[in-house]
Amino acid sequence: MSRPKDFETALQRLEEIVKKLDSGDLPLASLLEVYEEGVTLSRFCQAKLEEAERKVEILSKRADGTVERIPFEEAASKQRSED
């Protein structure tokens, strides 16, 4: 399997894999191969999400260097009200 180019592509492929696994129509060898690809994609997606979280934290740092933790929903509504 080639490395996915971005989070969205990996997530879409992961959704396809879940459907295949749920169907129960795969022989054991194919099942293991598809499962392995799914695990790889899941790890890729998790890493991308963690990377995004770190970037958000960097952007949320106060002038004194501390991180202001704001729940996502609150930050989103705050952003909408500022627009």
- Which pLDDT tens digits describe the chain residue by residue (83 residues)? 677 889 999 999 999 999 999 998 889 989 999 999 999 999 999 999 998 888 887 777 777 777 776 666 665 565 556 55
pLDDT of residue 73: 61
Q: Determine the 3-state secondary structure of 61 from DSSP.
A: strand
Task: Specify the DSSP class assigned to residue 4.
Answer: P
The dihedral of CA 20, 24, 30, 36: what is its sign? positive
d(CA 4, CA 13): 9
Domains in the chain: ranges and CATH: 7-82 (1.10.287.1040)
Q: Tokens at residue 66, please?
A: 């501390």
